[in-house]
A and B are shown apart, each in its own frame.
Chain A
Amino acid sequence: MPTFEYAPAPESRAVVTIEDSYGLFIGGEWTPGHGTPFATINPATGEHLSTVAEATTDDVDAAVRAARTAYTRVWSRMSGTDRGKYLFRIARIMQERARELAVLETIDNGKPIKETRDFDVPTAAAHFFYHAGWADKLEYAGLGSDIRPHGVVGQIIPWNFPLLMLAWKIAPALAAGNTVVLKPAETTPLAAMLFAEICQQADLPPGVVNIVTGAGATGQSIVDHPGIDKIAFTGSTAVGKMIARSIAGTEKKATLELGGKAANIIFDDAPIDQAVEGIVGGIFFNQGQVCCAGSRLLVQENIVDDVVRRLKRRLETLRLGDPLDKNTDVGAINSAEQLARITELTEAGVAEGAERWDTGCPLPKNGFWFRPTLFTGVSQSHRIAQEEIFGPVLSVLTFRTPGEAVAKANNTPYGLSAGVWTEKGSRILWIADQLRAGVVWANTFNQFDPTSPFGGYKESGYGREGGRQGLAAYVRSGGVA
């Protein structure tokens, strides 16, 4: 009997135009950078995509000055209604150019087209649409009387959701009346380059959005620039701490969206088939390169064998390969550096005595790849249960009682997200209360929405993104709040 082979179903690349090189987007114009240009590649193939300018401290200064001018002369004087209209325009253009954005994001990041098409791009557009509506309603947000924007906001975003993180940052900042200088991650700058073009199409006043490319040094220049009023950062906890130190003693405000080591707790009365889906989606979505990934599976000990068996069977059906293929579930790891880190930590897992299993699926020859991997027999003291791997690697631990599940879930310096699966309502509410995490997904996982605040406890950072609470991070209050 023949098996059901899915023929290749590649999304066309023709919809995307990638320039040979990109400059910096400052004051509404493309300007050359003064640092050393760097390459961005397709992590699924190793193919060179483009060369991108590196912004020096002087370039960052020019961007901050452009943002300040736009803030003082235009954006802070504009009515909320008009600011909102620009954001609505941007949201619409993103929807119109959704296919292009999805393909470009997949090429530059390595994530599957079905994710960029069905999640990253529509959710990014939704963030602009949601915040557009806030622009002329800020006084109704319950954030106090006499609220004002900060001024110029410096934003530094990671490579795992290049367009979505840009939207999470820029949409609320602009809605609240700030102007921005944004730095995309050095391995995934192209979505931001296309977004700059969208700003031009929307006739957004020059300088309201400025995009500077570069690596850590460029980011540090933004953080240290005296003209920056607020920093918004998403990335690693280590860098988040550096930023918090850098701005200590200044007037600068910060919101930090950092790492995580989320527990996904499965009780023996869970809706098991959906729980398995939730576990898989929780850790293998975006190749596990997600700060809120459910990387620590906590299973009630009496069902662990059944859960692991079901999980392995499900993982066998995941399709790893060409990210542009519409049937690909697991794409490429974003960079050689990230692949090395995943490899190093999984080797540590083996060395520490945990039992490793992977799907054994073939990996493409070029590019950066890692098979969906499962560790059983993991204890809290293993590095793979403590450190953020940021890859498609799941550690399975067990618990006996609800109290023990909570204790293990909370036993980490992180506190970004957590999951719990049980059909018992009162237990869900008790566990949700006990978990020290900013987002708790009960009988679901990895759900995101512009109206829903996202952000962590403890070393997962501070501040929220999305919803009314996310908006609060982009205003200062002169009144009683």
Chain B
Amino acid sequence: MTTSAETTARARDLLGVSRLTNRSLTSWLHALPGVDQVGCDSRAAGLRTRSIKTDSKRWAIDLAISMIDLTTLEGADTAGKVRGLATRALVPDPSDPSTPSPAAVCVYGDMVAVARETLGDSDIKVAAVATAFPSGRASLKVKLADTKEAVAAGADEIDMVIDRGAFLAGDYLTVFNQIAAVKEACIRADGSAARLKVIMETGELVTYDNVRRASWLSMLAGGDFIKTSTGKINPAATLPVTLIMLEAVRDWRDEFDEQIGVKPAGGIRTSKEAISFLVAVSEVAGEDWLTNEWFRFGASSLLNDLILQRQRMALGVYSGSDYIADDAPSAY
């Protein structure tokens, strides 16, 4: 558990300043090395050329399934839809009980209880988006209330959004303070805390330099995970952006001996794509991140393709969508 005051005190310590000001945050963030877009894109393209076959592919598919935050975030979500999704998480492939379950089910705050109830005492976590998701355009008070309600309803994880407007306006202190406050709101009555994923909405930050700065700012403010996107903005989770975030968590651990998770979300729909991300995790951050404790995919339809590939490898023939039990077909 970490209070906002503790987070701020730690930040002062890490920055070596007596008072945390916007100027001290700016100096610190702007001293990070720049990211050359073309070079970063080309490194990502290089990682994509890895050819993952046979046993490696089998292993990677199961790992990818286990890393999914199976998500539904629609205005039209109902208890029935969420129950279906949670059930799917419990039994991802009825034809093969050896199929691993996703890491979590990710829903809006008001659906946490439904999800929790369906998942019962399984290991599958419930993640809730909060803080006036997806735009984040609400008062801090509202954002904190949103968070606290989700935590109280049994959310294991909170996926918050940062104030991109404040970030782009250079008001890093506001972004920091809000993350720290939400972090505090994740504390449960028993003193434990929900894990906090900080959504940077990289599609709105646009430049890779901004992605790097937002990553470091989110880690400084106490985020347990840094997450690319809400899924509501294009582009969402691209490999180059995820690469920059993996570099950030790698360098953060080198510097402060603390491990932070990474969650690309939105737009990852195929097994081949997901495996490219795992290659990036392995070659950039290292194998310590190759577990669902430290890496997640925010996705819905990805699970179907992973299962399709899994069946193909098990059966030796190509499978089809009629053989995938999908309780919650979604456009997301």
Task: Check whether chain A touches chain B (CB < 8 angstroms).
Answer: yes
A273-298: CB near B (< 8 Å → 1, else 0) gives 11001100000000000000000000
Within 8 A of B (CB), among A443-458: 443-444
Within 8 A of B (CB), among A284-314: none
Question: Are A327 and B50 in touch, CB under 8 angstroms?
Answer: yes
Q: Contact partner of A9 among B34, B53, B279, B291, CB < 8 A?
A: B53
Question: Are A273 and B40 in touch, CB under 8 angstroms?
Answer: yes
Question: Are B54 and A7 in touch, CB under 8 angstroms?
Answer: yes
Question: Are B39 and A274 in touch, CB under 8 angstroms?
Answer: yes
A274 to B38, CA, bound (A): 9
Question: Are B51 and A4 in touch, CB under 8 angstroms?
Answer: no
Question: Are B59 and A2 in touch, CB under 8 angstroms?
Answer: yes
Interface stretch, picked from A144-152, A190-198, A264-272, is: A264-272
Question: Are A4 and B33 in touch, CB under 8 angstroms?
Answer: no
- Residues of chain B within 8 A of A273, CB atoms compared: 33, 35, 39-40, 43, 244, 247
A35 to B179, CA, bound (A): 78
Q: Contact partner of B56 among A1, A7, A271, A423, CB < 8 A?
A: A7
The closest CB in chain B to the CB of A268 belongs to B33
Q: Given A4-B290, A274-B39, A277-B43, is A326 in contact with B57 using a C-beta cutoff of 8 Å? A: no
Question: Are A118 and B49 in touch, CB under 8 angstroms?
Answer: yes
Tally of B interface residues using CB under 8 Å: 29
Question: Are B35 and A271 in touch, CB under 8 angstroms?
Answer: yes
- Residues of chain A within 8 A of B283, CB atoms compared: 317
A269 to B59, CA, bound (A): 40
Q: Contact partner of A272 among B33, B55, B57, B290, CB < 8 A?
A: B33
- Residues of chain A within 8 A of B33, CB atoms compared: 269-273
Question: Are B291 and A1 in touch, CB under 8 angstroms?
Answer: yes
Interface majority SS (helix, strand, loop, mixed), chain B: helix
Question: Are A4 and B60 in touch, CB under 8 angstroms?
Answer: yes
Judged by a CB distance under 8 angstroms, whether A140 is at the interface is: no
Judged by a CB distance under 8 angstroms, whether B129 is at the interface is: no
The closest CB in chain A to the CB of B59 belongs to A2
The closest CB in chain B to the CB of A277 belongs to B43
Within 8 A of B (CB), among A303-353: 317, 326-327
Question: Are B35 and A7 in touch, CB under 8 angstroms?
Answer: no
- Residues of chain A within 8 A of B244, CB atoms compared: 273
Q: Given A4-B279, A272-B33, A423-B34, is A277 in contact with B53 using a C-beta cutoff of 8 Å? A: no
Judged by a CB distance under 8 angstroms, whether B287 is at the interface is: yes
Counted as pairs of residues, one from A and one from B, with CB atoms less than 8 Å apart, the total is 72
- Residues of chain A within 8 A of B55, CB atoms compared: 5, 7
Judged by a CB distance under 8 angstroms, whether A3 is at the interface is: yes
The closest CB in chain B to the CB of A421 belongs to B36
Judged by a CB distance under 8 angstroms, whether B79 is at the interface is: no
The distance from the CB of A111 to the nearest CB of chain B, in whole angstroms, is 15
- Residues of chain B within 8 A of A4, CB atoms compared: 56, 59-60, 278-279, 282, 287, 290
A412-436: CB near B (< 8 Å → 1, else 0) gives 0000000000010000000000000
- Residues of chain A within 8 A of B42, CB atoms compared: 277
- Residues of chain A within 8 A of B279, CB atoms compared: 4
Judged by a CB distance under 8 angstroms, whether A468 is at the interface is: no
Q: Contact partner of A1 among B52, B53, B57, B287, CB < 8 A?
A: B287
Question: Are B53 and A271 in touch, CB under 8 angstroms?
Answer: no
The closest CB in chain A to the CB of B39 belongs to A274
Question: Are A274 and B35 in touch, CB under 8 angstroms?
Answer: yes
- Residues of chain B within 8 A of A269, CB atoms compared: 33-34
- Residues of chain B within 8 A of A444, CB atoms compared: 36, 38-39
- Residues of chain B within 8 A of A1, CB atoms compared: 287, 290-291
A1 to B42, CA, bound (A): 30
The distance from the CB of B281 to the nearest CB of chain A, in whole angstroms, is 8
Q: Given A7-B55, A317-B283, is A326 in contact with B35 using a C-beta cutoff of 8 Å? A: no
B33, B40, B57, B291 pick with most chain A CB within 10 angstroms: B33
The distance from the CB of A294 to the nearest CB of chain B, in whole angstroms, is 14
Q: Contact partner of B50 among A6, A278, A423, CB < 8 A?
A: A6
A234 to B149, CA, bound (A): 71
Judged by a CB distance under 8 angstroms, whether A114 is at the interface is: yes
The distance from the CB of B116 to the nearest CB of chain A, in whole angstroms, is 28
B53-81: CB near A (< 8 Å → 1, else 0) gives 11111011000000000000000000000
The distance from the CB of B38 to the nearest CB of chain A, in whole angstroms, is 7
Question: Are B39 and A326 in touch, CB under 8 angstroms?
Answer: no
A4 to B276, CA, bound (A): 12
The closest CB in chain A to the CB of B290 belongs to A4
- Residues of chain A within 8 A of B247, CB atoms compared: 273
The distance from the CB of B316 to the nearest CB of chain A, in whole angstroms, is 17
Question: Are B287 and A274 in touch, CB under 8 angstroms?
Answer: no
Question: Are A326 and B40 in touch, CB under 8 angstroms?
Answer: no
- Residues of chain B within 8 A of A6, CB atoms compared: 50-52, 56
Q: Contact partner of B39 among A3, A9, A114, A271, CB < 8 A?
A: A271
The distance from the CB of B292 to the nearest CB of chain A, in whole angstroms, is 11
Question: Are A271 and B50 in touch, CB under 8 angstroms?
Answer: no
Q: Contact partner of B52 among A3, A7, A271, CB < 8 A?
A: A7
The distance from the CB of A292 to the nearest CB of chain B, in whole angstroms, is 18
The distance from the CB of A22 to the nearest CB of chain B, in whole angstroms, is 32
The closest CB in chain B to the CB of A4 belongs to B282
The distance from the CB of A325 to the nearest CB of chain B, in whole angstroms, is 8
A71 to B278, CA, bound (A): 56
A1-19: CB near B (< 8 Å → 1, else 0) gives 1111111110000000000
- Residues of chain B within 8 A of A7, CB atoms compared: 52-57
* Beyond A7-B57, A272-B33, A327-B51, 18 additional pairs, beta carbon < 8 A: A2-B59, A3-B282, A4-B282, A5-B56, A5-B59, A7-B52, A269-B33, A271-B35, A273-B33, A273-B35, A273-B40, A273-B247, A274-B35, A277-B42, A277-B43, A326-B51, A423-B34, A443-B39
Q: Which 4 A-B pairs have the closest CB atoms?
A: A274-B39, A9-B51, A326-B51, A272-B33
Could you write out 8 A-B pairs with CB less than 8 Å apart?
Answer: A3-B282, A6-B56, A9-B51, A270-B33, A273-B43, A274-B36, A274-B40, A326-B49
**Residues of A bordering B, CB below 8 Å:** 1-9, 114, 118, 269-274, 277-278, 317, 326-327, 423, 443-444
